Structure formats: structure tokens, C-alpha cells
Structure 1
Amino acid sequence: MENLPLRKEGLPELFTIGHSVHPSEYFVELRKRHVITALCDVRSSPYSRFTPQFNRETLKNEMSIQRIA
């Protein structure tokens, strides 16, 4: 992550985040490190049996606490 390309003025920058089995704290840290201010969950089924911290409502609540749209 150290060699990330520089942002170009005036152009929006999009990131994708795969949550894998990381704890939600890691997800929040990635978001902060890259100054991500809005998230869009594009999963066809926004639920997980194995990582409930990334279920739609849980993630929505956590991002609300973090002041993320």
C-alpha cells in the first residue's frame, strides 16, 4: 500500500474493499487510511454466515458510528 498512485485533481477515486475474514476494525482502518468518505455495498446478497460483522445492517450501523455515508 505504500506505492499507491497519487490522486489526480478533480477526478473521483474509487476503491474496492474485499472484507475476507478480517475483523471490522481492519475494514475501518483501511477506510481511514485512504480517506474513504462513502461506501456502496454492491453484493447481490449482503449477508455472511462466517463474518456477521459485514452483514448489511451491522455494517451500516458501524459506518454510521464512523460517520460514513
Structure 2
Amino acid sequence: MKKNTHQALISTLIFLSCFALFQLWGNSRADIMHIISQAKFWLQLLITGTIYFLGFVYILPLIDQK
């Protein structure tokens, strides 16, 4: 695995765990198990993680080259 891809993967996993934590913390009045079972929560997590990962893998090296 390329060094840049490896760093992006680790960074994405850290970001997703923080994103999920803040999503659940922001909805602390609601039942957390209900939020986790919703497809919307997992879809947001998947889309956010994909964008974040692709940004680190493809956009960051382009910026660093210039």
C-alpha cells in the first residue's frame, strides 16, 4: 500500500470515529440505539468517509506537487 494511501486510510478512520461520536453526541436527547439503526446515519458516515478519503489520496498530492 502506498504511504499516502496508508496515511489517508488511518486519517479517515480517525475522522469517521470522531464524526460518528459528534453525530451521536449532538443527538444525546434522542435514543442513541435508534439513531445507530437508521440508514441515514450510516449513509452520512459512508459518504463523508469516502469524500474525506478521496480528498486525502488524490487532491492532497496534487496540491503538494505545485
TM-score of the two chains, using structure 2 as the length reference: 0.26
The structure with higher relative contact order (CA 8 Å, sep 6+) is 2
Larger Rg: 2
Q: Given the two structures, how large is their TM-score scaled by the length of structure 1?
A: 0.25
The structure that is helix-richer by fraction is: 2
